[in-house]
A and B are shown apart, each in its own frame.
Chain A
Amino acid sequence: MIELKDALRKKEIWAIGGGKGGIGKSLITGNIGICLARLKQKVLLVDADLGGANLHTTLGIGVPDTTLSDFLNRHTENIQDVIIKTDIPNLNLISGAQDFLDAANPNFAQKTRLFRHLETLDADYILLDLGAGTSFNIIDFFLFSDHGILVVLPEPTAIENAYRFIKSAFYRRFKKVVTHQGIKDLIDAAMDQKNTMGVRTPFDLIERVKQMEKEVGEILELEVLKFRPKLIVNQVRTKNDIQIGFSMKSACQKYFGIDLEYLGYVEYDDCVWQSIRSKRPLTIEYPYSRPSRCIERIVNNLLRKEQFTLSMLY
C-alpha cells in the first residue's frame, strides 16, 4: 500500500533524452542511477523508451516479466507490482514495454496517470530513460520531469537532433500555456523551419505572438526563462569535444534565449563497449575507469545543482 510518508517524501524526477538513438542515454541513465544508489539514495529507474526498451540490459538484468506496459494498459492498478528489485541496494527498476506496438504511444491520460503514481513512490530520485526521436510522447515525459537532461555526441548528427529536440520541447511547452487557437496554429507553423511567415527563431515567434496578444507573448517569454534543460556530452575524445558543451550553451542562449546547463562530459573508452558486451554495468565492472569517473562527476554536479566549469578539468 502507498504509505503517507512515501507520498510526502521529496523526490526528484529526472528525464534523460537527446533525440538521436544510440548516443548512450540508457547507459548514462543506468550508471547515474547506480552512482546515486551508492550514495545511499533510493533510486527508481523507469525505462520510458516504449518500443525500444533496453535499460534492463545495461543493468545486467534479463528480459523482465512485468513491464511498464502492464501498468499503462491497466493489467495492474498498482505501480508497485511492476517494480523490479535489482542486485544493487537502493536501486529499483521499472522495465520498458516489450510487447504491444500500441504501448509505444500511450495517450495523454496514461502519461499523467503514470506520473501521478510515480509521485507516490518511495524514492529519492526517479530517472526516466527516454527513447530516441522527438515525438510528443517523449517530449511530454521530458517536460513532465523536474529536470530534463539531454545527451549529445560531439557529432553533427547528434547535435542536429539535440537542437531539434530542444525546439520541439520548447514549442510543445508554448502550446501548453496558450489557449488561443490562432496562436497555437502559429506555433505549429513555426515548427517548420521553412515556414513562409518569416518565423526563424523563437524570438521571431514571440514577437509575432506579442503583435497578436501582448499578454500571451509575455507569458511565453516567462516560459523561456523557466525552461532550463541540462546537457551531457558523451563519447568525448578530445579537448575540443569538451568545448562543444560550452559552445552549445552559448548558442542556445543566443538562439533560443534559454539557459542550457552543462553538467559534464563522458570520455570515450573501450571499457564502455566491453561492459555492454559483458552485460555488466560500467560503474560496477570498471569503477575506476575514466568514463565512470566522468559519470560520478556529473552526479556530483547534479546533486550540488552546479554546472561544469573549465576549472573542474584538472
Chain B
Amino acid sequence: MIKKIEDLNFYELLEVSPQANAQEIHKAYERIRRVYDPNSVALYSLFTSEETAAIHQRIEEAYRTLVYEDNRKKYDAMLRNRNELPEIPSPPPPAPKFQPRPFQASPPAYQENQHTGSGPGAMPQATPQPGQEGVSPVPSFVAEFTGPVIKLLREQMGLSIRNIAEMTKVSVRYLELIEEENFKKLPARAYIRGFLMLYAKALGYDPDRMSSDYLKRYDAATGFPYSLRKKPQV
C-alpha cells in the first residue's frame, strides 16, 4: 500500500523504524531536514515551495513528537489505535551500546521555546540517553573472544557487518578479516587493537577484555615477540 506524503506517520516521514532510539531519531531528523530544505537541489521541480514548506513543518512536528519519551508514548498509543503499529510492541533488538562521545564539553541544553518560532536555524539537540554507558556482562558460554565468537555475538544481536561498519567507521573488509581471524591480511597489530576496541564498544562488551583476548590469539598465531609488547594503556 503506498501512501501520500500527508498520510505518512512520523516514523515513515523520518524514515526510521518505530523501534529507533532517540539518537537514531535525531540523526534521521537531521538528514531528512536537509533533504527537504527549501534550497535542496535534489527536490528541484518536484515540489512547489508551498509543498516543501508544509513538509518541513511536518518534519519539525515529527521530531518534536518522537524525541520526547512522553510525547512519543502518546503518539505510539494513538498509532496503535489506528492499527498502524502492532498491538504488542515487539521487544526492540538489543540496542548497540556504542555512544559517540561529543567533542564539545556538553551539548547545549534543549529548550522548548528555542524553536517554537520554527526558524530554519533553530535545531534542537538530541537528549543524551542515560544508562547506556555500561558494559554488558560477557555471556557465560564465551570463554574467550575469538573471531568466530565475535561473529556469533554480533549475529545474535541481529547486526550485520555493514551495521557495525557504520557504527565504528571501520571498513567492512577489516571487520570481516577480524571475524575470519585472517591475521595475514590484517594490518599492523596496533590498528587491529583499535578496530577491536571500537567493535567491542559497538557490541557493548568490555573493549579491553575483547581486544586482549583476541590479540593473544593473534600473537600466538603470528609469533609476535612478547618482550617488545608494552602493557596496553587502559
> Which residues of A are at the interface with B, using a C-beta cutoff of 8 A?
154-156, 159-160, 163-164, 201, 203, 206, 221, 224-225, 243-244, 246-248, 250-251, 253-255, 257, 309-311, 314
User: How many B residues have CB within 8 A of the partner chain?
Assistant: 26
CB B55 to nearest CB in A, in angstroms, measures 8
> Are B45 and A247 within 8 A (Cβ)?
no
Q: What residues on B are CB-neighbors of A310 within 8 Å?
A: 166
CB pair A163 B166 closer than 8 Å = no
Instruction: Report whether B35 and A246 are in contact in the complex, using a CB–CB cutoff of 8 Å.
Output: yes
- Is there an interface contact between B3 and A257, defined as CB atoms closer than 8 Å? yes
Q: Chain A residue with minimal CB distance to B48? A: A200
- Are A257 and B45 in contact, CB atoms less than 8 angstroms apart? no
Given contacts A225-B2, A257-B3, contact A247 B43 (CB under 8 A): yes
A276 to B40, CA, bound (A): 32
Among A156, A203, A224, A255, contact of B44 (Cβ-Cβ < 8 Å): A156
CB-nearest residue of chain A to B161: A311
B46 touches A163 (CB 8 A): yes
Would you give the shortest CB distance from B170 to chain A, in whole angstroms?
A: 9
Interface positions of B (Cβ within 8 A of A) = 1-5, 8, 15, 31-32, 34-35, 40-47, 55, 162, 165-166, 169, 171-172
Closest to B6 in A: A203
- Knowing A309-B162, A311-B165 are in contact, say whether A255-B47 is a contact too (CB < 8 A): yes
Task: List B contacts of A246 (CB < 8 A).
Answer: 31, 35
Enumerate chain A residues within 8 angstroms of B47, measured Cβ to Cβ: 251, 255
**Which residue of B15, B45, B166, B171 contacts A250 across the interface (Cβ within 8 Å)?**
B15
Q: Can you give 25 contacting A-B residue pairs, CB < 8 Å? A: A155-B41, A156-B41, A156-B44, A156-B45, A163-B46, A164-B45, A201-B4, A203-B4, A206-B2, A221-B1, A224-B2, A225-B2, A246-B31, A246-B35, A247-B35, A250-B15, A250-B32, A250-B35, A251-B35, A254-B5, A254-B8, A254-B55, A255-B5, A309-B166, A311-B162
Residues of A within 8 A of B31 (CB): 246
A160 contacts B2, C-beta separation under 8 Å: no
CA distance A154 to B44 in the complex (A): 11
Contacts of B43 in A (CB 8 A): 247, 251
Return chain B residues, CB-CB under 8 Å to A253.
Answer: 15
Chain A residues whose C-beta falls within 8 Å of the C-beta of B162 in the assembled complex: 309, 311
Q: CA A198 – CA B34 in complex, angstroms? A: 28
Asked whether A257 lies within 8 Å of B2 as measured between CB atoms, the reply is yes
- Tell me, rounded to whole Å, the shortest Cβ–Cβ distance linking B213 to chain A: 26
| Residues on the B chain within 8 Å of A311, using CB | 162, 165-166, 172
Q: Which residue of A lies closest to B169 (CB)?
A: A314
Partner of B42, one of A203, A225, A244, A309: A244
Minimum CB–CB distance for B146 against chain A, Å: 25
Query: What's the Cα separation between A203 and B32 when bound, in Å?
Result: 21
Q: A311 to B164, alpha carbons, bound, how many Å?
A: 9
CA distance A309 to B164 in the complex (A): 13
Q: In the complex, what's the smallest C-beta–C-beta distance from B207 to chain A, in angstroms?
A: 21
Compute how far the CA of A302 lies from the CA of B137 in the bound complex, rounded to whole angstroms.
41
